[in-house]
Structure 1
């Protein structure tokens, strides 16, 4: 059960699949600054549902980097890898509502069949397996074919009607504005996989509710994903936080900093003699 907080609660939720860089530092500092402005609390959450890429040494490095920046948080820290049963229960609730269906398509199948892209630029799933009859679904599941479970977004939206969420910015203390969600532009998103009972979308809304998160600070690149989160919140009967979408820290080529592109880590900068104040100045937060 989610608890109604007595004061604002925010969270910084990195994945331990690499070292933090300046983009992470900016997002963390924005979160802690927002908590201070609101008179609330900032939590650290470790989003480690990807068992193959998440490493304990990266979790330890996240804690080290954040402490070096002068940030602290209440203990214990929520780690998503310890909550798989909770996510499975949430997925089962959607399954009982007839909103999940098994999909046996590979990435190459989807790329070949798609005629549009989602907001992230990936091939938009055309709903191929949504039309499989129950007999074929059962046969393929019993055969052990690779499977993932997708949300029937059209059916889900028919139950919820028009969806909206509250946004503040550029400061979390600014006057709130209403935005309308458009989950249909994501198609039927994957919420569960064989052997992994959750996805980023499912686990994040479950944990935001469980931790009583009142304000979500996230980069503008995650604004579109909020469409799915608001839909899941409505389907699962969970509260919807207030959202703040902050700017991104870009490299010299104008691209978002990313672990996958080898963006320089905070540990590298620290080894070069940078101080926490240098980091704050570099991301435009004074120092």
Structure 2
């Protein structure tokens, strides 16, 4: 009986310096790979052209190595893989899973409350990257699109009322209701780039990732990505959602916490061992 080879990944975005929260999640991913005698890959999620910087790419590589986290080369770079995402998007379009959305930013702002409000964002699974869509542009049927419209956003049509369930290897059984906990979500942007959800699914499948280790704030994203995997006929990996680190006020750490950036802690003279002690949760 063969044993499945373990393949994990680190997936930082070069939009700022890595902080203690990132270190905690990436250290967990590294330890999980070691425990399974597996492989750990590094993916540079640089699909935000306005905020991604080469200096942050260099810093994240240096900071991860300084912590003692090792990965298998070469680094995967998302901006070099647009053709893969485009092909997956066109499959979703042809199968009727995607539709054009012409809502303006003002239209979207008038939907339900933004999910990044701290009252919701501090609860595991409630941090989200977009509010529940009000279906304004959703067609009556899920027929295939006649043609691809450039400079247009596209959404994935979720099966309203369906429970998306999975067993998280750290947090246990999880369940989210499509159309209630999350709505039709963005998969292709009008700047001809994929959304986080689509690029993540395509890359995890192409890289043959067997377990995704990431923060507990992305539980809803996992539910979305399971729907994309089903629509594209891709295998669903295992998931391990790590607890979030918080500051003294109980707010989850983010890139705005510059004083807790790995680079800042290094400059203050802390050793890798001292930083790793700080991230034990």
Shorter-chain TM-score range: 0.7 to 0.9
* Secondary structure in structure 1 of the residue aligned to 2:155: strand
C-alpha contact 1:101 1:151 (8 A) present in aligned 2: yes
Of 114, 117, 135 in structure 2, the residue corresponding to residue 127 of structure 1 is 135
**Counterpart contact for 2:205–2:234, Cα < 8 Å:** yes
CA contact (8 A) 1:5 1:212 kept: no
TM-score of the superposed pair, with normalisation by structure 1 = 0.84
**RMSD (Å) for aligned C-alpha atoms:** 2.7
- Tell me, in whole angstroms, the C-alpha distance in 1 between the residues paired with 2:225 and 2:112: 25
Q: Which residue of 2 aligns with 1:30?
A: 28
1:150 to 137, 152, 155: 155
Which SS does the other structure have where 2:191 is aligned? coil
Contact 2:19–2:257 at 8 Å: present in 1 too?
no
In the TM superposition, residue 54 of structure 1 has moved relative to its aligned partner by 0.8
Superposed counterparts of 1:80-91, under 5 Å: 80-91=78-89
- Structure 2: how far apart are the matches of 1:17 and 1:45? 14
Counterpart in the other structure of 2:177? 182
Residue 271 (1) aligns with residue 267 (2): yes
Given that 2:19 and 2:258 are in contact with CA atoms closer than 8 Å, whether structure 1 keeps it comes out as no
Q: CA deviation at 1:12?
A: 1.1
TM-score of the pair, normalised by structure 2: 0.85
Deviation sequence 1:166-193 (CA, Å, 0-9, x none):
32126xxxxxx55444332211101001
Q: Distance in 2 between matches of 1:47 and 1:240?
A: 20
CA distance in 2, matches of 1:263, 1:132: 50
Q: CA deviation at 1:115?
A: 4.3
Greater share of helix residues, 1 or 2? 1
Partner of 1:173: none
**Which shows bigger deviation, 192-201 or 117-126?**
117-126
C-alpha distance in 2, partners of 1:115/1:255? 22
Aligned match of 2:165:
164
**Distance apart, 1:229 and its partner CA:** 0.6
Q: Distance in 1 between matches of 2:271 and 2:6?
A: 30
Q: Deviations along 1:236-277, whole A, 9 cap, x unmatched? A: 111111111111111111111111354531111111110000
| Matched position secondary structure for 1:101 | strand
8 Å Cα contact 2:10-2:29 kept in structure 1: yes
- Residue aligned with 1:43, SS: strand
Q: Which residue of 1 aligns with 2:44?
A: 46
Q: How many residues align?
A: 265
